[in-house]
Amino acid sequence: MADAERLLRTATQYPQDAEQLHLHAAAHLELAGERERATTLYDNLLARTPANPLLIRALKAANLWEYGHEAEAHAIIDGVRSATPRDPAPWVIVAEALESHDELEPAHDTFTEAATRLITPGAPVPQDARPLLVGRHRVRRLLGLAHDDWDALADELHTAPVTLDELHDPNRIWSLGSENPAELRAEIARLQTELGSYRAALSRPFPVAVLHWPSMELAELLAAYPALESEYPSHEEHLTAIESALRELAASGTPNLGIVTATVPSYEAFAAAESTTPTDPSLLPQYTTTLASRGRATPWPPRGECWCGSGVGYGECHGGGTP
């Protein structure tokens, strides 16, 4: 609840980031059992012409179903499916909502329709579309259906030590509802192994990036979290450290280098999502990697203006003296 309230306060200060902050706040409210308040947040977002209304509708439907509004949830799910989203996320959310309430055949149909619409046979499968194949594979195992071409593709894309067939074994899934602590611990350990492998796979394609705080953002960060002053003695030293770190990485042969620009609201939202405090210095590299993974990194060295935002050419600014 405290995290949700803090995110809502932050959203009033940074209206340009309000949609993302409100979605994070709604997730915290759901975890706190305040599902009606979460629904109100979703409704408020939908009334403001959001960037991704179908995603918000899908989240609202999943939330409504959890506190007894099944008919309304079904109506929203039907509307989301009829709208045929181009983003995989709404499909995944509504399909998993159906699955979690034992409506396996509609869940299977939803996963299948989404995969058919969003994945081109023979072409690389986008990273954000892969949960469609994994979810479909899981539901088909629960239904006792034989593998088909989509399942074979899911198996091919899955690189973790635990195979999808083992991970989606109905006996394993049902054991997660067991009251036997030993069974639960064993399943949790296996799932943690799977998650670690998945995160490692996600991190590989992205650039090695360094975090850049613009002057105003750094001042706001240190005013709010003085404990981070040891990380950033001054803005000038911060800029010098960035250039030095990138040159050292380049000299060591590290390819695909980049810079990600930080903002205080997004950093606070990330800290909330990680259930930790922004004052934790170890959160900074995680935040950097996450921004880079979302395509927020700009290549270094730049060809035009300097990355620091001075408006001066890179060669005349931080790139001075570069061979």
Rounded Cα distance, 210 and 53, in Å: 33
| CB neighbourhood size of 202 (10 A) | 12
- 36-45, 211-220, 313-322: range with lowest mean pLDDT: 313-322
Mean pLDDT of all residues belonging to the chain: 88
Rounded Cα distance, 90 and 82, in Å: 12
| pTM recorded for the entire structure | 0.58
Helix (H, G, I), strand (E, B) or coil at 6: helix
- Residue-wise pLDDT for 136-161, tens only, equals 999 999 898 999 999 999 999 988 77
Rounded Cα distance, 83 and 114, in Å: 11
**pLDDT at 33 (0 to 100):** 92
* CATH 3.30.420.40, applies to 2-203: no
Beta partners for 258?
209, 299
Rounded Cα distance, 267 and 298, in Å: 18
Helix (H) or strand (E) holding 207: none
The stretch 194-223 carries a mean pLDDT of 75
| Domain locations along the chain | 2-203, 208-316
Alpha helices in the chain (DSSP H): 2-13, 18-31, 35-46, 53-66, 70-82, 88-100, 104-118, 130-143, 149-157, 164-167, 170-175, 181-203, 215-224, 235-251, 264-273, 283-293
List Cα–Cα distances, 132 to 94, 212, 221, in angstroms.
11, 35, 38
Phi, psi for residue 123 in degrees, rounded to 5: -100, 160
Percent of all residues in the chain with a pLDDT value above 90, rounded to a whole number: 55
List Cα–Cα distances, 238 to 18, 201, 211, in angstroms.
28, 31, 10
